[in-house]
């Protein structure tokens, strides 16, 4: 079966998915929708540049209204590549049309809107994937295999960068900030490798970036102390204060287990008492995710999806807990937050 796909939102991440999908013979992108027509043209051009002369042409109809796209096209699946603040109604419309979907992370800015979508998905039993592609990286499989059955003591994550230039990024009510929007990938990977987070106690501040950009209101320095359900403890430090030239090794995810240390920074470094091995990250995690999604739709195989909507909501809950902890000065229990705000998850 060829899977007929439509896109809602054709900005920068859509271009990456489109290029992957055009390289897949069993996928056909038939429609592109963006509020801004010029973003559709820009996406077509960017994909053509990325694929080069031999690439398959992106022969898809353009729409500026996703409701019209859903009405006029016979879609087997849809990609939602929207900024965090734009989620909600588009998901509702795609779900109402009975079309399976892949929603980019974060799936919402807060838990209440995500709870509404989760309830609709549960009612309809629809196949929904979310864009946590690190779960598809070969190193994630290898790390899980190495950690299976071992006692984990501690996890330490660092992620440093600079605020992206995207117009919505520096506003809390648009992006949700670095942790909810970006470092959510490492939170999700921690959940996959270490286990569910029990408590989050966070400190955060806006210290520097607002000095030159007065409407900048997201935190630019974040620190969390974590406990996990299995008893492990963790720390997670991220900021938007990195200068160009900071070595890439400054950002990594490390796990200290019984007889084994793992460090993920691009690839996977495995340290045991008598050996150190490096395993490169062979394979593009996002391409693997896109291939798994298309196959899951074609074959009706939700088991191929490594992050469904409920998983994305659990990851969102950890980052929302951090935001609230930083603002209130109190530790937050993630299970209690989910029980109160996403009943039935
Ligand atoms: N998985 C990853 O590694 C990864 C990487 C980058 C971005 N993302 C995520 O993808 C999402 C989009 O990021 P981006 O960088 O592509 O943003 P972007 O701003 O480049 O693109 C978003 C597009 O959505 C369009 N849009 C907004 N509301 C719309 C609506 N109602 N209908 C149709 N189009 C609408 C905008 O016009 C814009 O063109 C974000 O949530 C981001 O976190 C994921």
CA distance 100 to 70: 12
Residue 321's Cβ-count burial label (10 Å; 0-12, 13-18, 19+) is buried
**What are the structural domains of the chain?**
3-132+286-306 (3.40.50.720), 134-283+316-338 (3.30.360.10)
The alpha carbon of 204 and the centre of ligand 1 are apart by a number of angstroms equal to 25
Packing angle, helices 111-124 and 309-328, rounded to 10:
160
CA distance 80 to 145: 32
Q: What is the DSSP pairing of strand 221-228 with strand 197-205? A: antiparallel
CA distance 210 to 221: 12
> What digits encode the pLDDT tens for the residues 75-90?
999 999 999 999 999 9
Q: Which atom of ligand 1 is nearest to the CA of 166?
A: 19
**Entry pTM:** 0.98
Mean pLDDT confidence for 212-232: 97
pLDDT at 72: 98
Residue nearest to atom 25 of ligand 1 (CA): 9
Look at 21-30, 47-56, 244-253 and tell me which has the smallest mean pLDDT: 244-253
CA distance 214 to 262: 40
Would you give the end-to-end CA distance of the chain in angstroms? 32
Pocket test for ligand 1, best of 34, 41, 90, 292 (most atoms within 8 A of CB): 34
The alpha carbon of 82 and the centre of ligand 1 are apart by a number of angstroms equal to 4
- Looking up tokens 């989760």 gives 118
> What digits encode the pLDDT tens for the residues 308-322?
999 999 999 999 999
Tell me the β-bridge partners of 270: 262, 277
CA distance 42 to 34: 11
pLDDT at 283: 74
Lining residues, ligand 1, CB within 6 Å: 8-14, 33-36, 39, 66, 81-84, 86, 90, 104-105, 131, 133, 166, 181
Going by C-alpha positions, the residue among 162, 253, 249 that lies closest to residue 208 is 162
> What digits encode the pLDDT tens for the residues 28-54?
999 999 999 999 999 999 999 999 999
pLDDT at 143: 96
Residue nearest to atom 18 of ligand 1 (CA): 11
Whole-Å CA distances, 3 to 104, 195, 296: 19, 34, 10
Going by C-alpha positions, the residue among 168, 146, 152, 192 that lies closest to residue 285 is 192
pLDDT at 281: 75
H/E stretch holding 5 reads strand 3-8
Tell me the β-bridge partners of 205: 221
Answer yes or no: are the C-beta atoms of 104 and 91 closer than 8 Å.
no
> What digits encode the pLDDT tens for the residues 261-290?
999 998 999 999 899 999 877 679 999 999
pLDDT at 282: 65
| Token pair recorded at residue 247 | 């070595």
Residue 49's Cβ-count burial label (10 Å; 0-12, 13-18, 19+) is exposed
| Token pair recorded at residue 51 | 């694929």
pLDDT at 93: 98
> What digits encode the pLDDT tens for the residues 169-219?
999 999 999 999 999 999 999 999 999 999 999 999 999 999 999 999 999
pLDDT at 1: 87
The alpha carbon of 96 and the centre of ligand 1 are apart by a number of angstroms equal to 22
| Token pair recorded at residue 5 | 């796909």
The alpha carbon of 261 and the centre of ligand 1 are apart by a number of angstroms equal to 36
- Side-chain-side CA neighbours of 193 within 13 Å: the count stands at 37
CA distance 182 to 169: 10
Residue nearest to atom 1 of ligand 1 (CA): 131
Q: What is the DSSP letter of 277?
A: E
The answer on pLDDT for 19 being more than 90 is: yes
Residue 299's pLDDT band (cuts 50, 70, 90): very high
């Amino acid at each position: 079966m060829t899977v007929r796909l439509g896109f809602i939102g054709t900005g920068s991440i859509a271009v990456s998915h489109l290029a992957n999908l055009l390289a897949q013979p069993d996928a056909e992108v038939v429609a592109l929708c963006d509020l801004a027509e010029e973003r559709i043209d820009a996406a077509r051009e960017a994909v053509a540049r990325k694929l080069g002369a031999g690439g398959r042409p992106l022969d898809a109809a353009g729409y500026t209204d996703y409701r019209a796209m859903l009405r006029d096209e016979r879609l087997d699946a849809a990609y939602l590549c929207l900024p965090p603040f734009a989620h909600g109604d588009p998901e509702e419309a795609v779900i109402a049309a009975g079309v399976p979907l892949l929603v980019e992370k974060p799936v919402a800015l807060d838990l209440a809107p995500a709870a509404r979508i989760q309830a609709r998905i549960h009612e309809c039993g629809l196949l929904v994937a979310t864009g946590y592609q690190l779960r598809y990286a070969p190193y994630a499989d290898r790390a899980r295999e190495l950690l299976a059955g071992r006692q984990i003591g501690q996890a330490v994550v660092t992620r440093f960068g600079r605020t992206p230039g995207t117009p919505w990024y520096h506003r809390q009510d648009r992006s949700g900030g670095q942790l909810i929007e970006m470092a959510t990938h490492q939170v999700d990977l921690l959940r996959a490798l270490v286990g569910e987070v029990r408590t989050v106690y966070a400190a955060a501040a806006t210290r520097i970036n607002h000095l030159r950009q007065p409407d900048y209101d997201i935190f630019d320095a974040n620190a969390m102390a974590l406990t996990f359900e299995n008893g492990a403890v963790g720390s997670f430090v991220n900021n938007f204060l990195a200068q160009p030239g900071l070595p890439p090794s400054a950002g990594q995810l490390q796990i200290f287990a019984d007889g084994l240390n793992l460090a993920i920074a691009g690839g996977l470094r495995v340290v045991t008492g008598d050996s150190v091995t490096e395993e490169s990250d062979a394979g593009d995690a996002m391409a693997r995710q896109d291939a798994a999604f298309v196959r899951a739709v074609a074959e009706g195989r939700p088991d191929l999806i490594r992050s469904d909507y409920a998983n994305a909501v659990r990851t969102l809950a950890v980052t929302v807990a951090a935001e609230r902890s930083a603002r209130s000065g109190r530790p937050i229990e993630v299970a209690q937050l989910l029980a109160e705000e996403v009943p039935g998850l």
